[in-house]
Structure 1
Amino acid sequence: MKKMNFRSQRLDRLGSAIFAEVAEWKQEARTKGLSVINLDIGSPDQPPAEEVRSVLADASLRSDTYRYPGTEGTLAFRQTAAKWFQHRFGVELDPQSEILSLMGTQDGLAHLPLAITNPGDAALLPDPGYPVYGAGLAVAGVEAIPLPLLADNGYLPDFEAIQQPVWDKVKFMILNYPSNPLSITADLAFFERAVHAAKRHGVLLVHDNAYSEMAFDGVRPPSVLEIPGASDIAIEFHSLSKSFHLAGTRLGFAVGNREVLSSLRALKNNIDFGVFLGAQEAGIAALEMDIHEPKPIAALYEKRRDVLVSALREQGWNVPAPQATMFLWAPIPEGWSSRSFSQALLTSTGVASIPGNAFGERGEGYVRLALVEQEDRLLEAAKRIGGFIRTAQPSK
């Protein structure tokens, strides 16, 4: 009788399930009686605007919102997304062919390799970079080639340093600015270089712009589609999860190259039926509010950034102030590995973080802290961290 095995080898290619590991560390901390401060997952702790919640509530009570919504998203949602994109970036999009609704950007990023690649293809991924980039490739059987993001180059990729044999095998490359986990921004001059490199080498440029509305100090991150001709070789992902605190509704959208979006739509037509109609109506309300009565959330996270960075520095941990997103990318004290520091910090103090090496080889030596707690809790976290780094002994 054959031995039954119900675990796909694809799962072994996904890498460390770090978020599940951190959940186990949290449980260990709680069994010690510690109050856990959740600075690990970037899940907004604030609700969407009351007006947006009212739209969602009203839609949920109507009988006509419970049919299958359609994979591409309602025309009303796509038209509103196009209107917002024109308002925000000055770029005109065709709602029929250049916008595709998604169950959050993670949905689109994870499924994209299945829709546009073939066996033997490869993709360039930022290192450090968001883990779902590699997970999507692993499931699709596509080779991941790290795109180093180094401090010496301002954490921007050096396209000229990529050898031609690499370009020859690459189907697409992913960029992410504002960056998770690095929390830095990029300007239009950088995207001009990126578009030029993509066109020269015949690769698709995929830009994850989930944090476009979460930059600080007056910075307004651009869209890659602002570069003339970019839609010939680029698509971009946007999220309502972070920008409008709609994380639980799972709503985002992709824009750009029509052929790529058509392929992604064709795949999704076979595996899902789209985003709940009520969520799309809430998304319409959020985008319309941002156009006519903006209530930007960046100020909330900028204030939290200032509070936590200042408090950590007072405790003796000189962490850099992020330029954007809801994260601090913090170099760990000497003598620790990222994982050992993150685990020991959590099980000893109750402060949860994500070890930097979960984001790639070049994330070693850092941890990511999420600004998703109230200011008093951030101050408490800094106090606990300060005591830990002054007294704990490093362990590899």
Structure 2
Amino acid sequence: MTAPVTTRGPQETPGPRGGRGSEELIRAEEPVLAHNYHPLPVVVARAEGTWVEDVEGRCYLDMLAGYSALNFGHRHPALIEAAHHQLDRLTLTSRAFHNDRLAEFAERLAALTGQDMVLPMNTGAEAVESGVKVARKWAYDVKGVPADRATIVVAADNFHGRTTTIVSFSTDETARSGFGPFTPGFRIVPYNDLAALEAAVDETTAAVLIEPIQGEAGVIIPDDGYLAGVRELTRRRGCLFVADEIQSGLGRTGSTLAVEHESVVPDVLLLGKALGGGIVPVSAVVGRRDVLGVLHPGEHGSTFGGNPLAAAVGTAVVELLETGEFQRRAAELGVILREGLAGLVGKGVVGFRSRGLWAGVDVDPALGTGREISERLMREGILVKDTHGSTIRLAPPLTITGEELREALGALEKVLG
């Protein structure tokens, strides 16, 4: 597969390139895979840049980018080179020993985000769980909250993952129903409502945990001043501001972090997805020394967290972001995305929200559900994913070209026409 793929959209070919075809592979999954996902009926076999190819050789423009895990596209040469080099040297030691890649990764990630210390983990949900533990430990050791009484304030319609503790403070009944009893210690307030947040914070509050932009909810962008208000409130009331930038961070919105749009520096940042370059799962809790410093040996850990392969890839990701190129691309191409979507309002699109190369698009329900629109776009060679109701998300790799972006917007206009 060359980069970029020149074949546009699904192309008819004589049959699968060896092995089983898409329909047979999809049927084969049914009896052996747990049904925790409802994928679109496309079976990807290869990918490069912004394009993927299925087992029959049909090509699709990827407008989802692994929910931002592929911010730098599929198989970015610098990231693949870093992984290959490390695979030939060392992949895992566990944190029982030091490794020669971890210090550089931590130093450069801390510098990129303007923080002091890094707690390396693997998945986004693991970073959130770790952030919850750190906030509670800080509340007991530093703030002086009585034992087992710490609370964390979160926002309605949040998405921070699907572990038992995380769904305990979700308002999505699909994620919650059937999984109780739930972990106590969380207070839920409306998103983008500073008055409600102020009322929920008291002397037991360890932290306010929010997404600067709510991704799963439909790319919900708060009012100007909301994030700065959260920062001021948490500082004044003596609790932590924990920002979940797992989807919004690392270039997606046109800046390294979404909080930078309001010049806000949280006490703790939760990072993941793009940090692993689409190659390995890498996440991190990044924060001030007086916050992450509350952890001591044996209180938290991860066998694979901070492994040499993850650190090597993560360092290569930070190197890409240090240039500012990808942040600039997201900002500049975001103008094309926003203007293109604005032109579709009243033509099947009833509303949208966008920042950088990230958008939630509300389609007229009379034209179909988000799932149905996603399937129609798939048939046009464009891969997106629905969220709630008739809303679809657009989050292409930051390597996408203006031409490719316009091609995707043209396909959306066609399926809505």
Q: TM-score range by the shorter chain?
A: 0.5 to 0.7
- Judged with a 3 Å threshold, the aligned counterparts in structure 2 of structure 1 residues 59 and 344 are, in CA distance, closer, same or farther, namely closer
Correspondence for 1:11: none
Per the alignment, residue 360 of structure 1 pairs with none
Kindly indicate whether residue 376 of structure 2 is the aligned counterpart of residue 343 of structure 1: no
Secondary structure of the residue aligned to 1:162 is: helix
CA RMSD of aligned residues (A): 4.6
In 2, Cα distance between equivalents of 1:295 and 1:347: 35
**CA gap 1:84/1:134 in 2 versus in 1, 3 angstroms:** closer
Q: Give 1:50 shift.
A: 3.6
Contact 1:111 1:136 (8 Å CA) reproduced: no
Does structure 2 conserve the Cα–Cα contact (< 8 Å) formed by 1:101 and 1:251? yes
State the 1:278 CA deviation: 2.5
The Cα shift of 1:142 comes to 3.5
| Match in the other structure for 2:354 | 322
Give the C-alpha shift of residue 158 in structure 1. 2.7
SS of the counterpart of 1:174?
strand
**Which string of whole-angstrom CA distances, capped at 9 and with x for unpartnered residues, describes residues 83-125 of structure 1?**
5544x46x462xxxx3212224442114444666597865433
User: Are 1:101 and 2:120 an aligned pair?
Assistant: yes
**Which has a greater percent of helix?**
1
**Deviation by residue 1:163-207 (Cα, 9 ceiling, x = unmatched):** 6466466543212235535274888x7555323422444543211
Query: Which residue of 2 is the match for residue 7 of structure 1?
Result: none
Cα 1:171–1:274, aligned 2, differ >3 Å: closer, same or farther?
Answer: same
CA gap of 1:197–1:308, structure 2 versus 1, over 3 A, is closer
AA aligned opposite 2:260: P
In structure 2, relative to structure 1, the CA distance for the partners of 1:24 and 1:246 (3 Å cut) is closer
Quick one: which amino acid aligns to residue 60 of structure 1?
L
Q: How does 1:191-206 map to 2 (within 5 A)?
A: 191-206=227-242
Write the deviation string for residues 133-155 of structure 1: whole angstroms up to 9, x where unpaired: 78642377246544423xxxxxx
Q: Residue deviations 1:213-234, cap 9 Å, x none?
A: 333399985399975xx6xxx3
Greater relative contact order structure (CA < 8 Å, 6+ sep): 1
Partner of 1:61: 88
Number of residue pairs matched by the alignment:
334
Q: Quote the Cα distance in structure 2 between the aligned partners of 1:382 and 1:289.
A: 27
Instruction: Quote the Cα distance in structure 2 between the aligned partners of 1:365 and 1:167.
Output: 38
> Structure 2 vs 1, CA of residues 237 and 182 (structure 1 numbering), >3 Å: closer, same or farther?
same
Q: Any idea what SS the aligned residue of 1:297 has?
A: helix
Matches within 5 A, 1:1-396: 20-21=37-38, 23=39, 38-40=62-64, 41-42=66-67, 43-44=69-70, 46-47=73-74, 50-62=77-89, 65-70=90-95, 77-83=102-108, 85-86=110-111, 88=112, 91=114, 93=116, 98-113=117-132, 123-132=152-161, 136-138=165-167, 141-142=183-184, 145-149=187-191, 157-162=192-197, 164=199, 167=202, 171-177=206-212, 180=215, 181-182=218-219, 184=221, 191-210=227-246, 211-216=249-254, 221-222=259-260, 234-239=267-272, 241-242=273-274, 246-257=277-288, 258-260=290-292, 262-263=294-295, 266=298, 268-269=300-301, 271-288=302-319, 290-291=321-322, 294=323, 296-302=325-331, 304-315=333-344, 316-317=347-348, 320=352, 322-324=354-356, 326-333=357-364, 335=366, 341-350=369-378, 352-357=383-388, 366-372=391-397, 374=400, 378-390=405-417
Give the TM-score normalised by the residue count of structure 2.
0.61
Report the alpha carbon displacement of residue 260 of structure 1 after superposing the two structures with TM: 4.8
Offset at residue 246 of structure 1 (A)? 1.1
Deviation track 1:301-327 (CA, whole Å, cap 9, x = no partner) reads 445544444444555355546223x42
Looking at structure 2, the residues matched to 192 and 60 of structure 1 have their Cα atoms a distance apart, in angstroms, of 43
CA spacing shift, 1:73–1:220, aligned 2, 3 Å: farther
Closer/same/farther in 2, CA of residues 382 and 260 from structure 1, 3 Å limit: same
Displacement after TM superposition at 1:328 (Å) = 0.8
| Percent identity between the two aligned chains | 9
Output one character per residue of 1:311-357: Cα deviation in whole Å (capped at 9) or x when no partner. 44555355546223x42112222557xxx611221344425544443
In structure 1, the gaps of 5 or more residues are 1-16, 150-156, 358-363, 391-396
